[in-house]
Structure 1
Amino acid sequence: MPASPARRTALTVLRRVEEQGAFADRALHGDAKELDARDRALAKRLVFGTIQRRGTLDWIIARHVTRALEPQVRAALLLGLYQLLYTDVPAHAAVAESVELAKPSPGAKLVNAVLRKVQREGVHLPSDDTPEGAAIVHSHPEWLTKMWWDWLGPDEARALLAADNEPAELALRINPLAGVEVDIKGRREDDALVIEGPIDVLAHPLYAAGAITPQSRASQRVARVVDPQPGERILDLCAAPGGKTTHLAALMGDQGTIVAVEKHAQRAKALEAQATRMHATSVTVHVGDAKEVTADQLGGSFDRVLIDPPCSGLGTLRTHPDLRWRATPEAIEVLRREQEAIVDTARTLLKPGGRLVYSTCTLSPREEVVAGGTVQRTLPHRDGTDGFYIAVSDGDV
């Protein structure tokens, strides 16, 4: 019997991520679009879970396999182990379908042998009372585990590592500018609506109407910290895809001016489309490098400036499972230099007495470029949402 469409799709996406460096969420969006809603949900669960647990699964494979595996066989084995160890999928289905995914390679026999041995004997992971052990148990790079261990302490680091492997909550932002009643059931918190149960947000008519948009509760805090007022000039640097930009517009009743700077032309177009969908007529998009823009180019200085610079994204590992395997300490240092340069430019664009807000969706002390003043930090295990760092610099900066 051939493997199910959801598992076939999961195998395809996993191979694209592993072999071509594709981003899991983007690859899944393209490859799973022909599946029905139930199969899409299963494919996403398998892909995200397998990538999140890849470090642990690799550790297990290394103790059962002594030779290099063909990419298809390796991917099938990873999917099978994930289902056996971390889901409620019946063991016989996890084994049989993974073997089918490995065919016609002779390696299918190895997949069958390893999965059945794990099914019989289980696995014995190391203790997570050291950073090295915790990295294996909770499937994070050892350098990242050590960084959080030293920064947050062992107990908090373990809690964060464990939380990163849990499903992310689905939060929507309700947009009053659309003038449409939102009748979706969920838990309301300010503009946020936390949904329980499956929903295809992008296909929902309220999404097309601009009444809702996906945005984590942590991300929604940022515009509220900026606190834009009607009639003010607001600058949003590195603005795409526009979630915070359009939230700023909603909070000021779309009265005033928001200049959204985006370096990449295609992302700038997407930002304009987002502003149109969200009825944010106060938004003007400027294509330019946030490190180099000037007040003359942007029509003057600003009452408030939001800096949302490129970052390592280590606060979003639930929704972007492959980021943990892409980030490196060296890349973070490069990002820090970029962040510092953008902050330096932002200070030249702020009116005396204005408000500067620096925000990143990461949990990395080296990327907390703006310190002092008012600081907020969200943690997935404590707050149930993405990890964010938000710092405010008020007054004459």
Structure 2
Amino acid sequence: MPASPARRAAMEVVRRAIEQGAYADRALHGASAGLDARDRALAKRLAFGTVQRRGTLDWVIDRHVQRRLDPEVRAALQLGLYQLLYTEIPRHAAVAESVELAKPNPGAKLVNAVLRKVLREGAALPGDDNPKDAAVHHAHPEWLVLLWWDWLGADETRALLAADNEPAELALRINPLAGVEVDLPGRREDDALVVQGPIDVLAHPLYRAGAITPQSRASQRVARILDPQPGERILDLCAAPGGKTTHLAALMGDRGEIVAVERHARRAEALRVQAQRMHATSVKIHVADAREVTPQALGGTFDRVLVDPPCSGLGTLSSHPDLRWRASPEGIEQLRAEQEDIVAAARGALAPGGRLVFSTCTLSPREEIVGGVAVRTLPHRDGTDGFYIAVDG
């Protein structure tokens, strides 16, 4: 029998993410079109899990295969191994459907042989007593494990690596500007609601009404630390997609002015749509490079400035399965230089006595370029994204 639609969609996502460098969430959007909710959920679980664990899966493959594999054969093996090693999916289905995914390539026979051998004998993964073994055991690039090992210590790193492979909690932000009561099961924390049970947020009437929006608890701390007041003039640099921007508007009661700067026109349009949905009429969008903004171009200085620049995103690995394989030390250095330029422009736009807050959703000391009063969240300690938030000065 042919492979199920869910597994074929997962296969497409895995191949696009690994071979073509596509973002897994965007690839899933296209690959899962036409699937019902159950099949879409299975496709997401298999695809995201396989991409997330690809380092470990390839380590297992390399111990069973001593030749180059065609891309479709390797992807079918990765999907099959993920199901055998990390899920409770019936073993016969995991093997049989992975073999079907590899057909008509003759390598389908190899897929069958390797999966059945692992099914019989298991896969003895290394422990995590040292960075090299921990990188395999927890499916992270070795350079990143070394960075955290030196920075946080062995025990903290092992806990962080394990947390990165667990599902991220689903946190929503309740938006009072919508004027709609939100009665969903979960745990409240300030404006945050940590949801209990499954929910299709983007299809929910409360989402369409602007009463809720997905946003991690760590991300929600940023606007509160900036502490905007009604009637103030606020600058938000690198503002898209607008979660923090619209939170600022809510904290101000939508009274005042928020100039949201975004350099990409398409992202700026998405920000406009977000602000409209969230009833944030105080948000004014300015399309420009945050490194080049001046008070003259923006109509004067600002009472408060938020700098949320591009970063490596290493605090969000549980919800972005491919991000750990995209980041690199060289990329972090490039980001640091851009961040420094943005902070310099932000300081030039801040009124005397004003407040500047710098935030990044990463766990990388090279990207902590602003000192002062700082908050750092860690996924294994705080149960939310890893963030660095600092008040300048």
TM-score normalized by structure 1? Answer: 0.98
The aligned residue for residue 67 of structure 2 is 67
The aligned residue for residue 388 of structure 2 is 389
Paired residues, number: 393
Show the 5 A alignment for 1:251-330: 251-330=251-330
Show the 5 A alignment for 1:129-168: 129-168=129-168
d(CA) in 2 for partners of 1:385, 1:315: 9
d(CA) in 1 for partners of 2:181, 2:70: 53
Which shows bigger deviation, 178-187 or 320-329? 178-187
**Which deviations, in whole Å up to 9, do the C-alpha atoms of 1:337-388 show, x marking residues without a partner?**
00000001100111111110000000000000101x2111111111111110
d(CA) in 2 for partners of 1:291, 1:186: 40
Moved runs in structure 1, 4+ residues, more than 2 A?
A: none
How far is 1:47 from its partner?
1.1
- Structure 2's unaligned 5+ residue stretches are none
Give the letter for the 2:383 counterpart: G
The aligned residue for residue 82 of structure 1 is 82
The aligned residue for residue 230 of structure 1 is 230
The aligned residue for residue 375 of structure 1 is 374
Give the letter for the 2:319 counterpart: T
How far is 1:33 from its partner?
3.1
How far is 1:197 from its partner?
2.2
Residues 18, 51 of structure 2: 8 Å contact kept? no
Residues 309, 342 of structure 2: 8 Å contact kept? yes
How far is 1:73 from its partner?
1.0
d(CA) in 2 for partners of 1:197, 1:105: 41
**Which deviations, in whole Å up to 9, do the C-alpha atoms of 1:156-215 show, x marking residues without a partner?**
000001111111111111110000111221111111111122211111111111111111
- Structure 1's unaligned 5+ residue stretches are none
Give the letter for the 2:50 counterpart: T
How far is 1:393 from its partner?
2.0
d(CA) in 2 for partners of 1:35, 1:202: 16
d(CA) in 1 for partners of 2:321, 2:304: 33
How far is 1:30 from its partner?
2.2
The aligned residue for residue 39 of structure 1 is 39
d(CA) in 2 for partners of 1:389, 1:245: 18
TM-score normalized by structure 2? Answer: 0.99
How far is 1:127 from its partner?
2.2
The aligned residue for residue 220 of structure 2 is 220
d(CA) in 2 for partners of 1:132, 1:377: 26
Q: Percent identity?
A: 79
The aligned residue for residue 5 of structure 1 is 5
Give the letter for the 2:187 counterpart: R
Residues 175, 212 of structure 2: 8 Å contact kept? yes
d(CA) in 2 for partners of 1:229, 1:30: 42
**Which deviations, in whole Å up to 9, do the C-alpha atoms of 1:285-341 show, x marking residues without a partner?**
000010001101111101100000000010111111111111110010000000000
Give the letter for the 1:263 counterpart: R
How far is 1:389 from its partner?
0.3
The aligned residue for residue 98 of structure 2 is 98
Give the letter for the 2:14 counterpart: L
Give the secondary structure class of the aligned counterpart of 2:290. Answer: coil
Give the letter for the 1:91 counterpart: R
Give the letter for the 1:390 counterpart: I
